[in-house]
Structure 1
Amino acid sequence: MAVPKKRTSKSKSRSRKANWKRKAYLQSKLALSLAKSVLTGKSNSFVVKTKLSAENSSSDDI
C-alpha cells in the first residue's frame, strides 16, 4: 500500500479541503437553482413531465 514520504503541511491540507468544500457548495447551489426554476416553471434547460394523460397511465399498455 502506498504511504506518503513526508507529512502534508496544515496550509496545504486546509487549502485542499477548502477547494473540495467550495466545489460541493457550488454544485449544491446549482442544484437548488435548478429545483427552484423547475418549481416555478421558468426552466429552459430541463424537461419535466407535469401530468400523465389517462391513456399513458393505464397498466394494460405495459
Structure 2
Amino acid sequence: MAVPKKKKSKSKRNHRHAVWKGKAALAAQKAISLGKSVLTGKAQGFVYPIDEEEESEE
C-alpha cells in the first residue's frame, strides 16, 4: 500500500527555493555582463568571430 512521504518543513523548502533562485540570478547576471561587453567591444575573455563579408555589406 502506498504511504505518503513525510512533509518537509517550509523553511527547508524556502531554503532550496532561495538557492535555486540565487543560482539563476547569478547565471543571468553573467549573461548580461557578457552581452554588454560584447556590444561595447571590451570583451577580453570572449572571442566573437566577425565575417569580413558581413562587414562589406553594411
Q: Which runs of 5+ in 2 are unaligned?
A: 54-58
Residues paired across the two proteins, number: 51
- Helix, strand or coil at the partner of 1:36: helix
Calculate the TM-score normalised by the size of structure 2: 0.78
1:49 to 1:4, Cα distance in 2 relative to 1, 3 A: farther
Look up the match of 1:29: 29
* 1:10-45 deviations in Å (ceiling 9; x for gaps): 000001001100000000000000000000000000
Calculate the TM-score normalised by the size of structure 1: 0.73
- Helix, strand or coil at the partner of 1:42: coil
CA RMSD of aligned residues (A): 1.6
1-side partners of 2:52 and 2:31: how far apart?
Answer: 28
- Helix, strand or coil at the partner of 1:37: helix
Look up the match of 2:52: 53
Q: Which runs of 5+ in 1 are unaligned?
A: 55-62
The structure with more helix, counted as a fraction of residues: 2
